[in-house]
Chains A and B, each alone.
Chain A
Amino acid sequence: MRVQLFATCLVDSFFPEVGESMLKLFRRFGVTAAFPKKQTCCGQPAFNAGYADDARVAAAHFLSVFDGDDPIVTPSGSCAAMVKHHYPDLFRGDPKMRAKAESMAGRIFELSQFLVRVLHAQESGMAGKGTITYHSSCHLTRDLGVRDEPLILLQSMKEVRFVPMPDASRCCGFGGMFMAKLPEISCALAEEKADSIVATGADTVTGCDAGCLMNIADAMKKRGNPVQVKHIAQVLAEGL
């Protein structure tokens, strides 16, 4: 099987180890991953801030870079939701581009979704270690409807004790530009999230969106808490 890997700008710039973990996972499951070198960003920062024109420029580039019929897999629920739900909307005035966006909507997958629904990775006897809790990021959960997949993966891992987080799907306060525009609220929400994480007693917190994890990691660091913050790709790849 062949896929195209969309790393996202956050993973590309800040968390390359997440991308490397994905490559490791793909190798383990016999998937050939192509990495279109011209990829940049899905355009979400501009789109969410109300700059549809600038977002459209990014989206058009994305559509041309990820051409073809292969599934596109990305380590972000938020970016997958952007492509799936907002691209068709961005091109509503352009039938040709819209058709392209709509066809792409059918072949973009968030990582955990792809691992569970397509590769059935949960049946492969993956292993890991420690006590893990999970933050259910907003766009992944509510826009993409990916609620169970990450849990299925984590619960399938041998030697891992999974502990559910209270209010797991409450926003961590990242919100993209929100963290920069309203930092006081953003930090207050991240602190509440940190409380929930500490309450689980887990040694690792994971999730499917680097943005949220970055925000959570900062909150944990501020309180000097040793809980490790890892993307689900890392948690899964470490056990291979």
Chain B
Amino acid sequence: MTSPDLLRRFLENAGNAAAGTHVVSDATGLRRVLSEIVPGTDPVFCPGLTDKEKAAAPFLPCRAADYASATATVEEVYGAIAETGSLVCVSSGGRAVQAGLLPSHHVAVVSRERIFATLDECFASFAEGPPTNITLVTGPSRTADIELTLAIGVHGPEKLDIIVF
């Protein structure tokens, strides 16, 4: 069970990495947050594979058939890491990790009990053998290649929102 301290640390670190953070405890909360952060006219990709994705899907007025044509992706991810404020995205279960890469807005739903305290705990969970792709995502895509000035949104998402559910 995720302690309040662990959740607080995760949210703080994710926020420091320029991710938007939201905490909801039921479908009503989820609907409220989604309506605030995803414009109703944007085509949104939602795989609808997990219970939480199934809960989110009806609240998305404009659904995209695939991530390539979407401007946003709403998906539940494998987990998160409090130490770094990272999301853990994986390719297992038929999931396309690119869904959280191509659209300019990535909305990740994290189950409260899937927050690892440390990087070590996260990687220990793959001890049996890692899936084809594990990507730790911390904040939106960024660069400082021009005069070391931070610019957000290079090739990946320009905006990252995390909803702890």
| A–B proximity contact (CB within 8 A) | no
